[in-house]
Amino acid sequence: MVERKTVRRQLRLLPVVPSVLLILLFLAAPVLWSFHASFTNAALTGRSARNPAWIGVENYERLLGDSAFPVSVVLTIVFVVASAVVGQNLLGLLIAGLMTRARKPVSAVVGTAVVAAWVLPEIVAAFAAYAYFSKDGTLNQLLGGAGVAGADWLYAYPMMAVVLANIWRGTAFSMLVYRAALADVPQDISEAALMDGAAGWQRLVFITLPLIRSSIATNLMLVTLQTLAVFTLIWVMTAGGPSNASTTLPVLAYQEAFKFGDIGYGTAIASVLIVLGLVFGIAYVRLLKDKR
């Protein structure tokens, strides 16, 4: 009787099986395979495509010796910090803050404009950004109208162009998070501070920001992860160029694996990214656990 009960109890978990199988086969297996393949000389074509040989930490040694890798790490950090941590995060907070003061129709229209860039398919957003920053694109038209000489942004300042494009593309997420967070801030606290004569920035720094700090932490974590994985935007706008000037880690991994056919080396780069993602993921989970 007792046994039947435990069996029944375990049978209850049966519906979880399809999800677990899918996740194990398509997410966990590639992650494990990535770590394994990064220790081999697996290639896209040729003999080592069928029978990759174990070469130990050679790929990782090459990674450290390869001049492209440190450059790529720096570019990735610049991209994430400038476009996500600073750009999307602060701009999203600013927009959400302004929306609590602005007229309702204005908030609605501007909210739609910001969200539009985010909802569009990534490749369309990338084309639009490409056209905007290209030599005879909209940005140079605007600058020309103001009497300022433009530049060929995608070649002269590729990182700046992709950073700005990613801010444009991704700010909506931060805006939505902060709108929800600010709506939860009790109005009477802020009003009491207003009565006590606190200036706008004082209320922001001493009241609003501490109240929404867990949303800020969550948002920072999520936008960092999303930005770390950006590929299409950069691939369409600059393809990592000119000469690796905008090659972030995802682009570098793609190039090594598919352009140069070195799957082993590509997976070594991918493994670095996966570890980074897992570190952030674990930090994010702990953050949510603490919140409870």
The Cα 170–Cα 290 span in angstroms is 27
Contacts of 60 (CB under 8 A, 6+ apart): 38, 268
Closest approach of another protein to the CB of residue 274, in Å: 5
Binders of another protein in range 82-101 (CB under 8 A): 91, 94-95, 98-101
Binding to another protein by residue 6, rule CB under 8 A? no
Based on the shown chain and the rule CB under 8 A, indicate whether residue 46 belongs to the binding site for another protein.
no
Least Å distance, CB 207 to another protein, is 13
| Contact window for another protein (CB under 8 A) among 62-70, 73-81, 205-213, 267-275 | 267-275
Q: Which helix (H) or strand (E) segment is 220 a member of?
A: helix 213-228
Shortest distance (Å) from residue 71 CB to another protein: 18
Residue with token string 């805006």: 175
Question: What's at 162, amino acid-wise?
Answer: V
Hey, which residues between 55 and 84 contact another protein (CB under 8 A)? none
What's the CA gap between 171 and 175, in Å, rounded?
6
Contacts of 208 (CB under 8 A, 6+ apart): 97, 182, 185, 190
Q: C-alpha angle 280/284/287, rounded to 5°?
A: 140
Structure tokens at 202: 């004082």
Which has the closest alpha carbon to 243: 233, 231, 255?
255
Residue choice 93, 114, 163, 212 for contact with another protein (CB under 8 A): 114
Least distance CB 286 / another protein (angstroms): 9
Give least dist CB 167 to another protein, A.
10
When asked if residue 135 is in the footprint of another protein (CB under 8 A), the reply is yes
Nearer to another protein among residue 74 and residue 108 (C-beta): 108
Separation between Cα atoms, residue 31 and residue 37, nearest integer Å: 10
Q: Is 245 in the site for another protein (CB under 8 A)?
A: no
Interactions with another protein, residue window 173-232 (CB under 8 A)? 176-177, 179-180, 183, 187, 190-191, 194, 200, 218, 225, 228-232
Q: Give the shortest CB-56-to-another protein separation in angstroms.
A: 18
